[in-house]
Structure 1
Amino acid sequence: MRKSHGVVPLAGLLAAASTIHANADGAMLRAVQSLDEPRGYCLDIAGAGPTLDLDAPLQAHTCKGESPIDDQLFEADAQAIRASEHDRCVAVEALEPGQPLRLRACDGSRLQRWRFEGGQLRPGSRSELCVALAAARGEPWGTPRLVSPAYRRQTLALADCGATVAALTEFRWLEPAEVPRSRADTARDGMPFDLAVSLAAFGHEFDGAIAQQTAALYAPQPRVYEPEEIAVTKDLAYGPHERQRVDIYTRARRPAEPVPAIVVFHGGGLIGGSRAATTNVAEYFASLGYVGVNGGYRLAPDAKWPDGARDVAAAVTYLRDHVAEYGGDPRRIFVAGISTGALHAATYVFRPELVPADAARAAGAILISGPYTFDFAAAGRGELAYFGEDRSLWPSMVVNGNVSRTDVPVLMTTAEWDNARYTKAYAGLFHELVTEHGVTPRYFQSLGHNHSSQLLSLGTRDQSVSSVIVDFVERTGAR
């Protein structure tokens, strides 16, 4: 059965041996005090991987958050401490001070019997002795490429407990998941490996079928919040059309001070999509203490350019007038959109002449993989339904080439697996903003993600996208 002790000191754990048989994953034995190593010192077999030396004395080594970690995995087995992956037990050659710890074939002898007393690992038949680190400072030791700071190590041996500083003799169990990573190449660490492989397999292609498969990949992912933490008020009308609705999410116990509000608009190729695709986004923002808003808008062919931007403006104006009722700050309303939602949000932000003059101004915009322009020679069904069939008007309708306002702070993202339709549109708009208007919006490439997984990841353990959005919101002032 799996150990349940986690970070609890080891005192008394071996006294109830039948309850602490560890599974094959094992755990780590860490010195309670960090001493000169913030990551802590763990019981360690010399070497690692192909250089592992099972016959060398055991040592105290920086607790590792990177594979391989089989050299630091141990488990309590009756009165023995067993190396989980190597079927050997911790032993000494003699029950005397100064004796180093070693690994030997498990035989149940008194040289392999241990008990914990007051957080100290003591020989079963010599309770005045205990395992101790040699000193308060270790020495730099072999460190893999890209790991920083360098690993450190110390020697371990039996010592007279009464004559040894307690900080050098106290240990506790540590689950591997508790150990912070030390590698420098951590940009992709947030995404689970199986998701990264699946998304990469789709490549740069993206269509409705891939969108459905991507959503199916994320549906079972654990959430970092519980449903009971969230309160929601649904179907609030900001206009007469049935799609001109917002759902407002807050923490069940709202913060005392007004908080930013973030309204997100879904994608769907101008003619499809719904708020159901972005529920997780509003929920996640609410779980953080913000007001999360899930916004709808009219679709083509019922809606024609620039109705999408006008719906965004109307929703923000509604929130300006009502968000305080939900604990939100009317001066800090952010618009966020993905794909078509980003197009409509960008049109609202960068082309104010297209929306009513009294429309509320957003505090900032988060634009995720938007089609800010399109290939005029290959217009699709959505473009024809929304922009109309008069091709001569298209260049004046898109965002690219028509920016007239740049005073709203903007964060733009694209996905690593976005196709050229989105990366070219982003690149053109970014170039226009920098070269023609002298402004540089923030930009982030969502590593490992495809077009729709960027927002699907919000609320999961993958914080690679959400952390950037939160940083932008927190560092953008009120309008």
Structure 2
Amino acid sequence: MNKITRLVTVLASMAFMLGVACASESGGNTTNETSVSDNAVVESPSTQELPPNRLIKLVDALDDPDHYCIDIRGWGSNVRINDSLQAHTCKTSDNRDEQFTYRLPSGQIYSEEYDLCIQAESLEHGSQLFLRDCSGISPQGFKLEDDGTVRPILDLENTLCVAVEAGDGHVINAIHKRRELFIQTCAGIDPSHMTWTFSGCAVSPGS
């Protein structure tokens, strides 16, 4: 009986630790995260696979203790998949609109929930990112660099990065903020605005 009691105690402790992993994540990297820097790419997409359905989160919290994640505007039945993508407070409940899978060998960043891929509007400073039908065309390819930046494959000079706007985040409500998301020239951008990690705290209804 004592052995059974000890086993139940151990299993309960393990379940508790798994349950608090996402809540503690904003305080630093955890074992549930895969840093972009662990999957370096220079000339072509990484050959190391990332787990599916990750949150693409800024490493630096900036002005939001829950950090910013790449996000589809709107939510649920009001999601606006034709609008440009944004950075939004990382959600701790149903966050399917913030879940993306890095695909190989194309370098596509894929939304399983909407069966669409992130595509750069153009290779110009200030251009935006959208969700489009996954076609395998090059504007949908991105490199995950060892410095934590996400860069368009077509940018042969390797000078452009996915970054959030500077300044303060726009307040949506008491717990959520947002920032605009752009393709920007890496030089001159604060690293805190363009250094990303692929986080493992993706959740769906009922989880």
Q: Give the structure-2-normalised TM-score.
A: 0.74
Q: Residues of 2 paired with 1:87 and 1:72: CA distance?
A: 13
Question: Does the aligned pair in 1 maintain the 2:163–2:181 contact within 8 Å?
Answer: yes
Question: Does the aligned pair in 1 maintain the 2:84–2:130 contact within 8 Å?
Answer: yes
Task: State the AA in 2 paired with 1:138.
Answer: G
Question: Does the aligned pair in 2 maintain the 1:75–1:84 contact within 8 Å?
Answer: yes
Q: Residues of 1 paired with 2:149 and 2:117: CA distance?
A: 18
Q: Residues of 2 paired with 1:14 and 1:84: CA distance?
A: 24
**Does the alignment pair 1:38 with 2:69?**
no
Deviation at 1:14, TM superposition (A): 6.4
Deviation at 1:22, TM superposition (A): 3.4
Q: Residues of 2 paired with 1:21 and 1:162: CA distance?
A: 27
Alpha-carbon distance change, 139 to 151 in structure 1, aligned in 2, over 3 angstroms:
same
- Indicate the residue corresponding to 1:122 in structure 2: 151
Question: Residue 139 of structure 1: which of 161, 170, 173 is its match?
Answer: 170
Alpha-carbon distance change, 111 to 176 in structure 1, aligned in 2, over 3 angstroms:
same
User: Rg: which structure is higher?
Assistant: 1
Alignment of 1:113-192 (within 5 A): 113-117=141-145, 118-126=147-155, 127-141=158-172, 143=173, 149-176=174-201
Deviation by residue 1:18-54 (Cα, 9 ceiling, x = unmatched): 542534xx11000110000000000000001010111
**Does the alignment pair 1:98 with 2:126?**
yes
- Indicate the residue corresponding to 1:70 in structure 2: 96
Question: Residue 111 of structure 2: which of 83, 106, 109 is its match?
Answer: 83
Question: Does the aligned pair in 1 maintain the 2:35–2:199 contact within 8 Å?
Answer: no
Deviation by residue 1:317-365 (Cα, 9 ceiling, x = unmatched): xxxxxxxxxxxxxxxxxxxxxxxxxxxxxxxxxxxxxxxxxxxxxxxxx
Deviation at 1:116, TM superposition (A): 1.4
Deviation at 1:12, TM superposition (A): 5.4
**Does the alignment pair 1:55 with 2:82?**
yes
Task: State the AA in 2 paired with 1:96.
Answer: E
Structure possessing the higher relative contact order (Cα contacts under 8 Å, 6 or more residues apart): 2
Q: Residues of 2 paired with 1:166 and 1:21: CA distance?
A: 23
Deviation by residue 1:138-170 (Cα, 9 ceiling, x = unmatched): 0112x5xxxxx4200000001110121111110
Alpha-carbon distance change, 5 to 14 in structure 1, aligned in 2, over 3 angstroms:
farther
- Indicate the residue corresponding to 1:112 in structure 2: 140
Alignment of 1:174-213 (within 5 A): 174-176=199-201
Alignment of 1:282-293 (within 5 A): none
Q: Residues of 2 paired with 1:18 and 1:128: CA distance?
A: 22
Question: Does the aligned pair in 1 maintain the 2:57–2:68 contact within 8 Å?
Answer: yes
Alpha-carbon distance change, 169 to 21 in structure 1, aligned in 2, over 3 angstroms:
closer
SS state at 2:179 partner? strand
Alpha-carbon distance change, 116 to 12 in structure 1, aligned in 2, over 3 angstroms:
farther
Deviation at 1:132, TM superposition (A): 0.7
Deviation at 1:63, TM superposition (A): 0.2
- Indicate the residue corresponding to 1:6 in structure 2: 32
**Does the alignment pair 1:20 with 2:45?**
no
Q: Residues of 1 paired with 2:124 and 2:74: CA distance?
A: 26
Question: Does the aligned pair in 1 maintain the 2:46–2:143 contact within 8 Å?
Answer: no
Query: Where do 5+ consecutive residues of structure 1 fail to align?
Result: 144-148, 180-192, 195-479
Q: Residues of 2 paired with 1:116 and 1:136: CA distance?
A: 25
Alpha-carbon distance change, 21 to 9 in structure 1, aligned in 2, over 3 angstroms:
closer
Task: State the AA in 2 paired with 1:162.
Answer: A
CA-based RMSD? 2.3
Task: State the AA in 2 paired with 1:49.
Answer: G
Question: Does the aligned pair in 1 maintain the 2:160–2:185 contact within 8 Å?
Answer: yes
Q: Residues of 2 paired with 1:124 and 1:12: CA distance?
A: 18
Q: Residues of 1 paired with 2:31 and 2:184: CA distance?
A: 26
SS state at 2:187 partner? helix
Alignment of 1:388-407 (within 5 A): none
Question: Does the aligned pair in 1 maintain the 2:34–2:50 contact within 8 Å?
Answer: no
Q: Residues of 2 paired with 1:116 and 1:63: CA distance?
A: 20
Alignment of 1:371-450 (within 5 A): none
Deviation at 1:58, TM superposition (A): 0.2
Alignment of 1:176-255 (within 5 A): 176=201
SS state at 2:93 partner? coil
Task: State the AA in 1 paired with 2:170.
Answer: E
Alpha-carbon distance change, 14 to 87 in structure 1, aligned in 2, over 3 angstroms:
farther
Q: Give the structure-1-normalised TM-score.
A: 0.33
